[in-house]
Amino acid sequence: EAAVTQSPRNKVAVTGGKVTLSCNQTNNHNNMYWYRQDTGHGLRLIHYSYGAGSTEKGDIPDGYKASRPSQENFSLILELATPSQTSVYFCASGDLGTSQNTLYFGAGTRLSVL
């Protein structure tokens, strides 16, 4: 199965601090996504990318930036973290529009902003 690696797995940040969440995939997938999941709820799309150098806003992009410097790496940046951004963040990758039309998820990053 395709491997998606997220780091860190757990992060405690202070309000107003900068946080960078990293995602790496070695499957040569074109599409990458960042979601957040609050306790007991579904996934909400923050940013996504369809290739190196591209980033697109999802449904809840405010307070987040994304960066796709290479095919393998997709980062989520919180410039000024707030307690409302406390959540579990999932990265996913896939090759949509092909026979491999599936998203593969990382293990998640649990972020607490105090």
Partner 1 sequence: QQKVQQSPESLIVPEGGMASLNCTSSDRNVDYFWWYRQHSGKSPKMLMSIFSNGEKEEGRFTVHLNKASLHTSLHIRDSQPSDSALYLCAASMRTGGYKVVFGSGTRLLVSP
Contacting residues toward partner 1, per CB under 8 A? 31, 33, 35, 40-45, 48-50, 54, 56, 58-59, 90, 92, 96-97, 101-108
**How far apart are CB 58 and partner 1 at their closest, in Å?**
7
**How far apart are CB 33 and partner 1 at their closest, in Å?**
6
**26 vs 59: CA distance, rounded Å:** 27
SS3 (DSSP) at 84 = helix
Return the number of the residue (56 or 79) whose C-beta is nearest partner 1: 56
**Contact, 33 vs 23, CB < 8 A?**
no
Return the number of the residue (31 or 75) whose C-beta is nearest partner 1: 31
SS3 (DSSP) at 23 = strand
CA angle 70, 2, 71 (to 5 degrees): 10
Return the number of the residue (15 or 112) whose C-beta is nearest partner 1: 112
Give the side-chain half-sphere CA count within 13 A for 35: 19
**How far apart are CB 63 and partner 1 at their closest, in Å?**
17
**How far apart are CB 16 and partner 1 at their closest, in Å?**
29
